[in-house]
């Protein structure tokens, strides 16, 4: 039976959601594990969660599923939070909840995100005709910044590096969110280092500071002819050295198995692995 927040104590629904958030196999990717943060995030949605939440419960009030939605009409897109559903109720309550929350959103494109380990959501998405997108892997490594006067042979990039950097950047990351000009802008948010080959740079790394302790690698690439010679490793060391940060974080898309092997070889661990699911309804 599907219910709204009028029918069921919101505290009980929140408790159910918090329990399902505790493991990647049952969590939705937007919310973390901390109960007060989950509550704050739900209350901060564009549409208050208590208006959009739909709950699957038995007649005696036992909750076995819930879902929430938020949408942006200008972007013509909604984001489903959940559905959080107990395994034995997935096949019945899952499709019902998904249909009930998306029906509220006056948009044609719908998205939801979950860990790649969330088999229940993968099944539900497929069953309901949602398309699974490319997974994104978050990596992190904490180690002391390299010691010594200069642990890497990298140097800070300058405007003179622009033509070579553009070629490398546009080949490896076509259409990405930051242009070569932005990576080289001394007043911008990115820092970029390069390692020189005989005539020009053969590899670059661009990063930003993240929080108090981390450096976030936005882009890293080595010319195909210069790979497997340790340049990638030295560029990571350069970003760590220049930033003075002990934690290095980054994300890699599923279609880059070489990069994933590289980060694993350097001792990075996967901290999250998120897959998007999308549904496009006719306008
Ligand atoms: C990922 C990339 C930067 C690695 O640069 P690199 O200079 O070749 O890496 P290194 O030589 O420092 O490799 C260090 C170790 O990582 C591992 N590694 C690197 N490339 C690998 C690959 N293609 N397959 C398996 N392991 C690999 C190896 O263990 C290697 O040590 P080894 O050569 O002694 O076996 C490079 O392949 C590249 O530019 N790829 C395209 C762009 C990209 O995917 N960037 C990362 C996106 S976030």
The residue segments making up the domain with residue 189 are 144-245
Check residue 228 and give its pLDDT: 97
Per-residue model confidence (pLDDT) at position 151: 59
| DSSP H stretches of helix in 103-230 | 119-127, 162-172, 180-184
Q: What is the pLDDT of residue 92?
A: 94
Distance 125 CA to ligand 1 centre (A): 34
Quick check: 186 pLDDT over 80? yes
CATH assignment at residue 9: 3.40.630.30
Query: Does residue 148 surpass a pLDDT of 80?
Result: no
What's phi and psi for 59, nearest 5 deg? -60, -30
Q: Is the per-residue pLDDT at 162 higher than 90?
A: yes
Assigned token pair, 45: 């949605």
Tell whether 111 and 152 lie within a shared domain.
Answer: no
Give yes or no for residue 11 having a pLDDT over 90: yes
Mean pLDDT, residues 220-234: 96
Copy the structure tokens of residue 143.
């180690």
Same domain, 89 and 14: yes
Average confidence (pLDDT) over 167-182: 96
Is 220 in a helix, a strand, or coil?
strand
Closest residue CA from atom 31 of ligand 1: 228
Q: Rounded to the nearest 5°, which phi and psi values hold at 123?
A: -65, -50
**Residue 49 sits in the same domain as residue 124:** yes
Q: 3-class DSSP state for residue 162?
A: helix
Residue among 141, 219, 227 to mutate when testing ligand 1 (max atoms within 8 A of CB): 227
Cβ neighbors of 82 (< 8 A, separation 6 or more) are 17, 20, 28, 65, 66, 67, 68, 97, 101, 112
Ligand 1 touching residue 231 (CB < 6 A): yes
- Ligand 1 site, residue 221, Cβ cutoff 6 A: yes
Whether residue 257 lies inside any domain: the answer is no
Q: Are residues 82 and 184 in the same domain?
A: no
172 lines ligand 1 (CB under 6 A): yes
Q: Please count the structural domains in the chain.
A: 2
87 & 190 share domain:
no
Rounded CA-CA distance 11/35 in Å is: 11
Among the atoms of ligand 1, which is closest to the Cα of residue 172?
Answer: 42
Inside any domain, residue 224: yes
Determine, yes or no, domain membership for 264: no
pLDDT at position 232 over 60: yes
Q: Are 130 and 150 in a shared domain?
A: no
Together in a domain, 58 and 164: no
pLDDT at 146: 74
Q: What is the DSSP letter of 267?
A: T
Same domain, 110 and 190: no
Site of tokens 């380990």: 117
Q: ∠32-35-38 over CA atoms, to 5°?
A: 50
Q: Do 126 and 191 belong to one domain?
A: no
Q: Are residues 11 and 108 in the same domain?
A: yes
What tokens appear for 80 in the block?
């489903």
Task: Please report which confidence band the pLDDT of residue 206 belongs to, taking 50, 70 and 90 as the band edges.
Answer: very high
Residue among 56, 82, 39, 42 at smallest CA distance from 2: 56
């Amino acid at each position: 039976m599907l219910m709204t927040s009028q029918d069921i104590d919101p505290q009980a629904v929140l408790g159910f959601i918090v329990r399902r958030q505790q493991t990647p196999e049952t969590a939705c990717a937007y919310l973390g594990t901390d109960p007060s943060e989950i509550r704050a995030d739900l209350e901060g949605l564009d549409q208050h969660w208590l208006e959009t939440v739909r709950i699957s419960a038995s007649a005696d009030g036992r909750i076995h599923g819930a879902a929430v939605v938020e949408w942006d009409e200008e972007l013509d897109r909604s984001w489903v939070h959940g559905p959080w559903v107990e395994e034995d109720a997935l096949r019945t309550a899952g499709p019902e909840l998904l249909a009930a929350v998306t029906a509220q959103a006056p948009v044609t494109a719908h998205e939801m995100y979950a860990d790649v380990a969330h088999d229940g959501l993968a099944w539900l998405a497929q069953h309901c005709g949602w398309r699974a997108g490319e997974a994104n892997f978050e990596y992190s490594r904490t180690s002391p910044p390299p010691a010594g006067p200069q642990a890497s042979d990298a140097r800070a990039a300058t405007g003179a590096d622009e033509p070579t950097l553009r070629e490398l950047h546009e080949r490896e990351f076509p259409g990405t969110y930051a242009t070569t000009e932005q990576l080289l802008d001394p007043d911008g948010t990115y820092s970029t280092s390069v390692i020189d080959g005989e005539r020009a740079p053969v590899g670059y790394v661009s990063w930003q500071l993240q929080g108090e302790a981390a450096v976030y690698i936005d882009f890293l690439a080595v010319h195909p002819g210069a790979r497997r010679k340790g340049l990638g490793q030295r560029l990571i060391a350069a970003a760590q050295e220049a930033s003075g940060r002990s934690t290095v974080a980054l994300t890699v898309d599923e279609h880059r198995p070489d990069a994933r092997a590289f980060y694993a070889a350097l001792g990075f661990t996967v901290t999250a692995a998120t897959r998007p699911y999308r549904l496009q309804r006719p306008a």
